[in-house]
Amino acid sequence: MSDDCGPYHVQTYGHIRGHVTGDIAADGYHKYKEDVKLMVETGLEAYRFSISWPRLIPNGRGDVNPKAVEYYNNLIDELIGHGIQPHVTLFHYDLPQVLEDEYQGWLSPKIVDDFTSFADVCFREFGDRVSHWTPINEPNVFVLGGYDLGWFVPQHCSRPFGNCSLGNSVIEPYIVAHHCLLAHSSAVSLYRKKYQFKQHGFIGFNLFVYHFVPVTNSTEDIAATKRAQDFYTGWLLEPLLYGEYPESMRNSAGTKLPEFSVNQSKEVKGSFDFIGLNYYAVLYVRNDPNNQDLNQRDFKGDMGAELRGAVDESADSMITIDANGLQGVLNYFKLVYGNPPIYIHENGYVLPRNGSHDDILRIKYLSEHLHNLFKAIRNGSNVLGYFTWSFMDLLEMYGGFDNTYGLFFVDFESKDLRRHPRQSAIWYSNFIRNKRNATQLQQFRSIL
């Protein structure tokens, strides 16, 4: 294992690379009762969190950690005891390191059985109280960040697309995405056969999405925008709807794109009760034909499109406030994908974590996006709930503790990691409780 760049996952990445770690972070492990009290005071009706596979099953398979079971039971019971509905994600990039070392983790089809066994433990231990499950968090970001560009764990990539000690940006993203879909559908199949009829829960699929807008009205840019939709969204969603990858991807990526067997296609198709969307921003698309040999270009080259965002430099943020994009995404899902049941799983505004509680730009972002969300619902979008990212400061995969989306400031310098509401937390609480919003909020099954 290299000392500078290697196949690391969340539990080891920070230690080996010398980065800040999530060993304690905001210490929700010990402060969950205090945090749930803050949720109640804010007015939240649901809370979305992840179960850590390495914490629950340290060796990836086999023995279950009783302390982890106790912690998650305590958290779930505390939430339910205060009228807050738990929404649980099973995999948020934190693969047990032993599975990466043993068979390269998500690059191997062996991951499907191990992930399904992990899901089985979660359904068995917590499913009597958890009504909403999501097997994998935004696999498209996990795949591109971890296996094409090398930004995220396990830091696989190849030149000229990134600078890693191992990996192949040309083919690995397609392989890992395929295994993510097979693992997801296997977990869903298990849940439906063994648990759903008695636990009466729902199981869905999560995606990171952009609203894509052509730079010009040229035929080429409009076609490139459709390809961007197919590559970023259709790549993972269309197998769940139709049992196969988008035609544009099959034409462009060729044999690099794995094929589903007949049985796999049947199992993947329909393997969701709802779709969870992580939405933050608009991207602008320009046609960018890539004439490189098929086996020398990565995902972006296969897509044949140049993507750029509009950054509000005055906000010192990576996100510009263009709230129409959320309505555009929901309209696209309504018109193109049959208006499936949707939860907005993530939506928020990043700012430097500088100790200031004045985050007026975050309030502006949330206000405008919620306004557009309500417009989409009135126009028929099948949205069941909304979660903002994030309730409080935490360890971000991109930016560590330096950047934050948190409504609550966590004083990491204080011994007790004190929480303080930012202006956005106060605004959001007032928004939820405002009687003028009551009729709109009733359209949600849950809201965070």
| Three-state DSSP state, 255 | helix
Torsion of CA 89, 269, 179, 9, to 10 degrees: -10
Q: Which of 329, 325, 348 lies closest to 339, judged by CA? A: 329
Residues 6+ apart with CB under 8 A from 418: 410, 411
Q: Cα(390)–Cα(347) distance, rounded to whole angstroms?
A: 8
**Any catalytic annotation for residue 138?**
yes
Q: Which of 64, 63, 87 lies closest to 76, judged by CA? A: 87
Cβ(211)–Cβ(229) below 8 Å: no
Q: Give how far Cα 210 sits from Cα of 229, 289, 330, Å.
A: 8, 21, 11
Residue 308's CB is within 10 A of a number of other CB atoms, namely 10
**Any catalytic annotation for residue 244?**
no
Q: Cα(136)–Cα(377) distance, rounded to whole angstroms?
A: 26
Q: What is the 3-state secondary structure (H, E, C) of 410-445?
A: ECCCCCCCCEEECHHHHHHHHHHHCHHHHHHHCCCC
First to last CA, the chain: 41
Q: Cα(277)–Cα(138) distance, rounded to whole angstroms?
A: 8
Q: Write the DSSP string, 382-395.
A: -EEEE--S-SB---
Which residue out of 138, 172, 238, 267 is catalytically annotated? 138
- CB neighbour class for 368 (10 Å; exposed up to 12, middle 13-18, buried from 19): middle
Q: Cα(136)–Cα(92) distance, rounded to whole angstroms?
A: 6
Q: Which two tokens stand for residue 408?
A: 């609550």
Q: Write the DSSP string, 53-101.
A: HHHHSTTSSS---HHHHHHHHHHHHHHHHTT-EEEEEEESS---HHHHH
Widest pairwise Cα distance in the chain? 59
Active site residue ranges: 138, 346
